[in-house]
Amino acid sequence: MLPLNLQALLVSVLLLLSLLGLWEWAVYAPATEQQELTEYELLMGGGEPQARVPPPSAVLGRAVEELSNPFYDAGPNDKGIGIQLGYSIGRVLSGYFLAALIAIPSGFVIGMSPLMYRALNPYIQVLRPVSPLAWMPLALFIIQDSTASAVFVIFICSIWPMLINTAFGVASVRRDWINVARTHELGRLRTAFTVILPAAAPTILTGMRISIGIAWLVIVAAEMLVGGTGIGYYVWNEWNNLDLTSVVFSILMIGLVGMVLDLALSFITRSVQYAD
C-alpha cells in the first residue's frame, strides 16, 4: 500500500487535473442560441465585445510569457510580475517586522503582568476589530505618502495576532518553571529570555504565522486603493484593461507567494516546538 503522503499527492493531482479539465471544457462549451446571436450582432458591427473567463491553457501561456522576463520595466504602468511582487513583499515585510518589534515586547509585558493586561485589554478589544483598510484614509491624510500608508496598514493588521498570541503564550507558561527560575535567583530579564521565551515561542510564532497571512491579504486591497506599484495595483490595472488572463494569472501568483510565506513561518514554528 502506498504511503499516506503519496496517496494525498495523487488525490491532489487528480483533483487539479479534473478541475482544469472541467474549466477548459466550460470555456469552450458549445455556445447557446443567445450567445450565437450576440456573436452575429458583433460581426455585423453592433455592440461591444464581451470579455470572458480565460481557459487554463491561456493562463498557462500568459504565465510562460510573464515568467520568462519577470523583471522588465517599460514605464510606470508596465512592469514585470517579479517587480510588482517585489514591491508588495517589501511593503508587507516592512509593516510586519515593525509590528513584531512592538507586539512581541508588549505581549510579554501584558502576559507577565495582570495589571497591564487589565489596563490595556479594553484598548485592544476596541481597536482589534477595526478593518485595516478603514485606517487608509487617515494614514493618507497624516502621512501623505501612498507607500508609507500601505506599510502602516500592514502594521495595523499584523500587530493584533502577534500581540494576543504572545500575551497568551507568556501567560500560559507553567508556573513551576518560573518558580524554578526564582529558586535559582534568576532576574526578571534572564527569566524572560531563558525560561518564558523558549516556552512561549511556539505560540508566538503561531501568531506571527497568522499575521503574515493577514498582511498578504490586506496588501492586495491596499495597493488597489493607493495605486502605483505592487501586485494589487497590477490586478486592478489589468482589470481596467479587460485582460482577464493576466488577472487570473496574478491571482495564482498571489496564492503561490502567500503559500511560500506561510510555509516559511510554519517551518520555523515546527523547529521551536518541544515535547512536554
* Domain contains 265: yes
Judge whether 157 and 132 are in contact, CB under 8 Å. Answer: yes
Give the C-alpha separation, 162 to 206, whole Å: 8
The DSSP bridge partners found for residue 238 are: none
- One digit per residue, pLDDT tens: the chain, 276 residues? 778 888 888 999 999 899 988 988 888 765 444 454 454 444 455 444 455 778 888 889 999 998 998 898 887 777 889 999 999 999 999 999 999 999 999 999 999 888 988 999 999 999 999 988 899 999 989 998 888 999 999 999 999 999 999 999 998 888 777 777 777 767 777 777 788 888 888 999 999 999 999 999 999 999 988 877 899 999 998 888 888 899 999 999 999 999 999 999 988 888 877 654
* Domain contains 16: no
Structural domain total, the chain: 1
Domain range for 220 is: 69-272
* Domain contains 11: no
* Domain contains 7: no
Interaxial angle between packed helices 81-112 and 114-127, expressed in degrees from 0 to 180 and rounded to the nearest 10 = 140
Give the C-alpha separation, 159 to 214, whole Å: 10
Alpha carbon separation from 227 to 21, 81, 257 (Å, rounded)? 35, 15, 20
* Domain contains 77: yes
Whole-model pTM above 0.85? no
